[in-house]
């Protein structure tokens, strides 16, 4: 017997609904039913006054979607705010860069007590305190390296290496000593010190700020030549942390040069008293430098030179050593004049020219 609503002969074959094969792959599981947007009223509910047989189920996606979106936006905003706060308050945030100080320098001529001894370069070195000094860069040795509280071993080594490079470039390089070159020194300076350096090279002045010889050692090529390219060196370097953002390196080195009159070719020269002397003489420079390095300096391989104290002789006390060193050559004597006079009534920077006496032990015996 045909079911209610079916044709008496049943559903004809070939028509939709004629068999159930095409619906066998459709499975109405529990999750499908729960996800349905329309729900049929029950038999009891249909007996009421409902005009429709189905009702819409509350849309879970519509109610939860905006809520999830708002929660996500809130979480992103909180994470962004935390990142900003951490960036501002992080204890390891790179500190603000401190202003670079101007170099303060002092150059002290050392006057000999008698006539400057002469000789060949090898003999001069052998008879002087520089006999056991090393030659050139080999004489600038680095101390044992250890990390500090805020700087690693590598950073300390970098600071010491830059300081050594500066000493070699400013005190040993032949182009700087006798040919007027400045680039080997200039490239090692912090950019904020370049204006002061350039003025010191172009308009040197003995004012404690702009003496070229505060930055480097050099001679007037029209007056003085190197008798031998060899430079004897001995000294020390030390380092210390100057706060969480700076390393400081101090150096103390003595450099011994052999010099002669320019154009003399190393031969004998006439002294003022008519005697002849060998063309070479010893000239000694002691340099004490104070460097500072921040992390930017270490990365860029550059230095801030803060203080420079130089003693050099034999020179006359009256010699103006702001632009170049003016060594007394073999057979010469210091003049009787003292340093340039100082006027206490003059306004501006209070400074007085200073001069020392070169100990007889600091020169080869005549």
Q: What is the mean pLDDT of the chain?
A: 82
In a shared domain, residues 276 and 190: yes
Mean of pLDDT values over 239-244: 94
For 283-315, what is each residue's pLDDT tens digit? 999 999 999 999 999 999 999 999 999 999 999
142 and 246 co-located in one domain = yes
Instruction: Let me know if residue 69 belongs to a domain.
Output: no
SS3 string, the chain, reads CCCCCCCCCCCCCCCCCCCCHHHCCCCCCHHHHHHCCEEECCHHHHCCCCCCCEEECCCHHHHHHHHHHHHHHHHHHHHHHHHHHHHHHCCCCCCCCCCCCCCEEEEEEEEECCCCCCECHHHHHHCCHHHHCEEHHHHCCCCCCCCCCCCCHHHHHHHHHHHHHHHHHHHCCHHHHHCCCCHHHHCCECHHHHHHHHHHHHCCECCCCECHHHHCCCECCCCEEECCCCCEEEEEEEEEECCCCCEEEEEEEEEEEEEEECCCCCCCEECCCCCEECCEEEEEEEEEEEEEECHHHHHHCCEEEEEEEEEEECCCCCCCCCCCECCCCCCCCCCCCCCCCCCCCCCCCCCCCCCEEECHHHCCCC
Are 171 and 35 in a shared domain? no
pLDDT at 92: 42
Look at residue 2 and tell me if it is in a domain: no
pLDDT > 90 fraction of the chain, expressed in percent and rounded: 57
> Is residue 274 in some structural domain?
yes
Domain boundary among 16, 35, 56: 56
pLDDT tens digits for range 54-81: 555 555 544 455 677 777 777 888 887 7
Question: Whole-angstrom Cα distance, residue 130 to residue 233?
Answer: 8
**Domain final residue, candidates 40, 56, 72:** 56
Residue 49 CA: distances (Å) to CA of 44, 46, 321: 11, 7, 116
Q: Does one domain contain both 184 and 320? A: yes
Is residue 3 a part of any domain in this protein?
no
Residue 239: predicted pLDDT: 97
Asked if residue 10 belongs to a domain, the reply is no
Q: Are residues 137 and 247 in the same domain?
A: yes
Asked whether residue 79 is assigned to any structural domain, the reply reads: no
Which residues span the domain enclosing 185?
104-335+353-362
Residues 172 and 45 in one domain: no
The number of folded domains in the chain is 2
- Residue 12 domain-assigned (yes or no): no
């Amino acid at each position: 017997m045909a079911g209610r609503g079916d044709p008496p002969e049943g559903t004809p074959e070939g028509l939709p609904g004629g068999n159930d094969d095409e619906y066998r792959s459709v499975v109405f599981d529990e999750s499908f039913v729960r996800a349905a947007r329309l729900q049929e009223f029950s038999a009891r509910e249909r007996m009421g006054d409902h005009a429709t047989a189905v009702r819409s189920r509350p849309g879970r996606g519509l109610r939860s979607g905006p809520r999830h979106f708002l929660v996500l936006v809130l979480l992103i905003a909180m994470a962004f705010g935390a990142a900003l706060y951490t960036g501002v308050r992080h204890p390891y945030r790179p500190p603000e860069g401190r202003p670079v100080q101007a170099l303060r320098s002092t150059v002290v001529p050392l006057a000999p007590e008698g006539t400057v001894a002469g000789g060949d370069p090898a003999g001069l070195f052998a008879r002087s305190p520089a006999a056991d000094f090393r030659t050139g860069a080999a004489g600038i040795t680095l101390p044992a390296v250890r990390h500090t509280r805020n700087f690693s071993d590598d950073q300390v080594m970098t600071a010491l290496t830059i300081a050594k490079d500066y000493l070699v470039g400013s005190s040993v390089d032949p182009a700087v000593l006798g040919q007027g070159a400045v680039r080997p020194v200039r490239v090692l300076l912090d950019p904020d010190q370049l204006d002061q350096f350039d003025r010191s090279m172009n308009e040197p002045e003995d004012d404690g700020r702009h003496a070229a010889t505060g930055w480097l050692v050099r001679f007037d090529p029209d007056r003085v030549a190197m008798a031998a390219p060899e430079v004897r060196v001995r000294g020390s370097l030390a380092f210390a942390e100057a706060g969480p953002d700076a390393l400081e390196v101090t150096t103390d080195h003595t450099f011994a040069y052999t010099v002669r009159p320019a154009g003399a070719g190393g031969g004998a020269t006439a002294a003022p008293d008519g005697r002849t002397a060998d063309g070479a003489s010893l000239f000694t420079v002691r340099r004490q430098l104070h460097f500072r390095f921040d992390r930017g300096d270490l990365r860029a391989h550059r230095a801030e030179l803060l203080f420079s104290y130089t003693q050099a002789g034999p020179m006359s006390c009256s010699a103006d050593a702001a632009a170049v060193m003016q060594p007394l050559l073999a057979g010469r004597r210091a003049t009787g004049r003292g340093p340039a006079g100082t006027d206490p009534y003059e306004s501006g920077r209070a400074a007085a020219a200073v001069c020392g006496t070169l100990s007889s032990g600091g020169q080869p015996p005549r």
